[in-house]
Amino acid sequence: MYAQIIDELNNYLRSLNISDNPVNPDEFQAIFVKKLSNQNIIKDKRRINAGATVSTVNQTHLDITGRQSMLFFFESLNDETTSIQNIAIDLFETNYKYLNDIDIAQKSFDTDGNTCFVRSSVSIPPHLSGWNKKIYSSAYKKYGHTGDQIQINIPDSDEIFTKFHHLAFQDDALVLLKYDYFHYLAIIIPFELCDILYSITNTHGYQNVNVTVDNPFYNRENAKQIQFNEISQDLMYDEVDLSMLQNSLINSPTAGTDIPKLIKTRISQGAFRRLLLLERHQCLLCDVTTTSVLRASHIKEWSESSREERIDAANGLLLCANHDALFDRHLISFNPKTGNICISDSISVAQKTSLRIPDRFNLSLNDRMKNYMKIHYQKYKENES
């Protein structure tokens, strides 16, 4: 069944002009398929109004029920004491563009006379891009209040996953493919194109159905290498885009001091951060695991790095927003010989506590990281003097 679902996903994605086979079956641990019910749709206009009852509350989470489906998100079946966990979600930019293009609803009625909505068209627009660039987003999960479910909570409206899910209709298929840890790829298939998928998963005629299928040949190291290669390819696209952005801003008389800020934002949200997230899922210096606020910091500044250095994972640290700002301004650094943290004398003891800067921390540095850190450390020393 796993291979059949992968084939169906690739058939759908290829129809969106995403080249080759964008979903590699060896890359994922498992697949989760959810047939969205009217309770799973964010927009009120997409929800069925049963008779005289009209729902006016937008959905804030997806309920995941059944032991197998719960284990898709938990390494083991936890209980109510389980802390809220942030999850990283990738999605194909082309999938998002397509759903946005067909985001037109027509009022209809089901066999019981209840109001529902259908799409006016599911034709593929010709302008969709022809490569498999992914957009990074996040949500969070927690144990359900009833004790036999977990919830994937919809984050704030600025998150791309929220905007993505906002385009779904009732009976669409939400497919989540699990990479590793709490990292997933999300695909939404319009219900008008779901016949084969629902036949494979035996979910025809049912609402709110969860199906989990494991990859019988999953190899973690192999999967990690596939992800590394894919993200590295995206990094090259990002680097070209950033270079073009920098050049256009430099030539703009109104850009001013916004140039470094815009470049930094693009880096923090792009493929470079996804590359660093392959190795760890929390801030290097503290226990922050909310991936939406973790940032990718270049050790040697992006503007001073060669193209090869800009996409080198050894030239990056994953930090929360506070520690990223401190590192970016050379108020903290690491001794390239010992790896020990160095903290500016301008930061008081009280500020260290507030900013959760550890007095002692040793960063493991390979040879390439040491070369990058020498440059950062030198600027830190100059800043101090």
Q: Tell me the CATH number at 26.
A: 2.40.330
Does 101 share its domain with 210? yes
**pLDDT score of 385:** 85
For residues 49 and 327, which has the higher predicted lDDT (pLDDT)? 327
Cα dist. 111→44, 114, 115 in Å?
20, 7, 10
Over residues 139-152, the mean pLDDT reads 68
Domain end point (choices 174, 196, 218): 218
Over residues 53-59, the mean pLDDT reads 57
Answer whether residue 47 shows pLDDT above 60.
no
Does 281 share its domain with 257? yes
**pLDDT score of 205:** 62
Does 253 share its domain with 113? no
- Cα(179)–Cα(278) distance, rounded to whole angstroms? 10
Do residues 137 and 161 lie in contact, with contact meaning Cβ atoms separated by under 8 Å? yes
Percent of the chain with pLDDT over 90: 34
**pLDDT score of 60:** 67
**pLDDT score of 9:** 94
Q: What is the pLDDT of residues 264-321, one digit of tens each?
A: 665 656 778 878 888 777 899 998 877 777 888 899 988 788 878 887 889 999 999 8
Does 214 share its domain with 225? no
Does 113 share its domain with 230? no
For residue 65, the one-letter residue type is T
- Cα(298)–Cα(309) distance, rounded to whole angstroms? 9
Domain end point (choices 218, 243, 259): 218
Range with lowest mean pLDDT among 65-74, 303-312, 364-373: 65-74
- CA-based nearest residue to 144, from 44, 66, 68: 66
- Cα(97)–Cα(101) distance, rounded to whole angstroms? 6
- Cα(117)–Cα(90) distance, rounded to whole angstroms? 28
Answer whether residue 204 shows pLDDT above 80.
no
Does 284 share its domain with 202? no
Domain end point (choices 202, 218, 234): 218
* Banded model confidence at residue 382, pLDDT cuts 50, 70, 90: very high
Does 121 share its domain with 195? yes
**pLDDT score of 154:** 73
Q: What is the pLDDT of residues 159-180, one digit of tens each?
A: 888 888 888 888 889 999 998 7
Percent of the chain with pLDDT over 70: 77
- Strand 61-65 with 30-35, pairing: unpaired
Mean pLDDT, all residues of the chain:
81
Contacts 24+ apart (CB under 8 A), 2-7: 2/31, 2/213, 2/214, 2/215, 2/216, 4/200, 5/31, 5/33, 5/175, 5/197, 5/200, 5/201, 5/213, 6/31
Does 323 share its domain with 183? no
**pLDDT score of 244:** 67
Helix/strand/coil percent split, the chain, to 5: 40, 20, 40
The domain containing residue 312 runs over which residues? 221-384
Range with lowest mean pLDDT among 23-32, 170-179, 283-292, 344-353: 283-292
**Tokens for 225?**
């290498």
For residues 211 and 267, which has the higher predicted lDDT (pLDDT)? 211
**pLDDT score of 228:** 81
Answer whether residue 370 shows pLDDT above 90.
yes
Range with lowest mean pLDDT among 47-61, 243-257, 293-307: 47-61
Which residues are 340's β-sheet partners?
362
For residues 237 and 331, which has the higher predicted lDDT (pLDDT)? 331
Q: What does the angle CA 193 – CA 198 – CA 201 come to, to the nearest 5 degrees?
A: 145
Domain count, the chain: 2
